[in-house]
Amino acid sequence: MATGVQRASQLTMADMKGRVDPDWCPGCGDFGVLAAVQKALVELRIPNHSVVTISGIGCSSNFPGYMNTYGMHTLHGRALAVATGLKLANHELTVLVTGGDGDGFGIGGNHFVHSMRRNVDLLYIVMDNQIYGLTTGQTSPTSRVGMKTKSMPFGNIEAPINPISLALAAGATFVARGYSAEQKKASHRADQARHRTSRLLVPGRLQPLRHLQSRQYLSVVPSACEEARGRLRA
Amino acid sequence: MKKLEDDSAHDPANWMAAMEKSLLWGEEIPIGKFFERTDVPTLHGAEPVLNEGPLIHRDPHVPLDVARSFIEELM
């Protein structure tokens, strides 16, 4: 990890890495997102000291700790509210917000909708694995009908929300979906969102879940999961 | 998964098309840019108070008489 203020033209991936290594499960898609975001910042030559990474609670909300930027690990579901306040206090900063589907669409669903309609100048990256992973596997707002979890062992009976549709309906000005096993593409999309519009990015991201719910995930999107497994083996 | 960039018919400026693509989940799962528009002002861009620059660089001091006037109005 590099320390101190780096010249933007001399930034490397090492400069973006935080002081601790991620404690995510081996094979988790969050690794791909972290690398993609770091790569996008380096390619855009955005210096560390002008970036703030904000999160709520959950596995993916540990993100700020793995970045060498300013950061805030806030309350469950409240990352967007804190980020909005921060952006209004100093709109010269590049604000990244990270979190999962439970944090963003469950606990923080209200903030999600209103951040879209307000067009807050920030980049919101949702690591959507369709489950509450940190608490070892409960049904989330994006869990598919019939998906068996610890909280619904006989299968989910609730219809999931569609984050992409919701973002569009709420007025988001940039909406994209990436795939964590494709870092290059994901990084490009983060680049697009930051560089071209500097507005909201809402990726309902497909994420390979190897540890907790891989069978359920396989039953929902077999092609995506198989592709991810192949890439991870390689 | 199908990349929207490979679909020449998909126009990211078309909100209705983006909404239709957002409903796909099954045999085909689209990834990529669904939608983008650049004509909407940002929240901080629309707030005239911020035209002079970020709040963080300004003196946050509130004169005593102004503070008292607020208290008197509210009490």
Contact A59, A28 (CB under 8 A): yes
- B64 Cα to chain A: minimum distance (Å): 23
Q: Average model confidence (pLDDT) for chain A?
A: 78
- Letter for the amino acid at A55? S
Alpha helices in chain B (DSSP H): 15-22, 43-46, 64-74
* pLDDT confidence bin for A190, thresholds 50/70/90: low
Residue entry with tokens 């490397």: A12
Contact B40, A173 (CB under 8 A): yes
- The verdict on a CB contact (< 8 Å) between B35 and A165 is no
Residues of B with CB under 8 A from a CB of A: 1, 3, 15, 18-19, 21-23, 25, 29-38, 40-45, 47, 50, 54-57
- B72 Cα to chain A: minimum distance (Å): 28
Question: Is A13 part of the contact surface with chain B (CB cutoff 8 Å)?
Answer: no
- The verdict on a CB contact (< 8 Å) between B22 and A162 is yes
Q: What is the mean pLDDT of the segment spanning B48-69?
A: 92
Q: Output A59 or A189, whichever has higher pLDDT.
A: A59
- Which of A53-67, A86-100, A129-143, A211-225 has the least mean pLDDT? A211-225
DSSP summary character for residue A107: I
Question: Is A118 part of the contact surface with chain B (CB cutoff 8 Å)?
Answer: yes
Q: What is the mean pLDDT of the segment spanning B56-60?
A: 88
Contacts of A121 in chain B (CB under 8 A): 42-45
DSSP summary character for residue A200: -
Q: Output A219 or A117, whichever has higher pLDDT.
A: A117
Contacts of B35 in chain A (CB under 8 A): 168, 172-175
Q: What is the pLDDT of residue A6?
A: 57
Q: What is the mean pLDDT of the segment spanning A174-179?
A: 84
C-alpha closest to that of A56 among A130, A134, A119, A1: A134
Q: Does the complex come out with an ipTM higher than 0.85?
A: yes
For A221-233, the pLDDT digits (tens) are: 222 333 333 443 3
For B19-30, the pLDDT digits (tens) are: 999 999 888 888
Quote the CA–CA distance of A143 and A146 in Å, as a whole number. 9
- A118 Cα to chain B: minimum distance (Å): 6
The shortest CB-CB distance from B29 to any of A176, A199, A224 is to A224
Q: What is the mean pLDDT of the segment spanning A14-41?
A: 88
Question: Is the pLDDT score of A8 beyond 80?
Answer: no
Residue B1: closest CA among chain A residues belongs to which residue?
Answer: A224
Question: Is the pLDDT score of B41 beyond 60?
Answer: yes
Q: Average model confidence (pLDDT) for chain B?
A: 91
Quote the CA–CA distance of A88 and B43 in Å, as a whole number. 8
- The verdict on a CB contact (< 8 Å) between A196 and B38 is yes
Q: What is the mean pLDDT of the segment spanning B66-70?
A: 94
Beta strands in A135-182 (DSSP E): 174-177
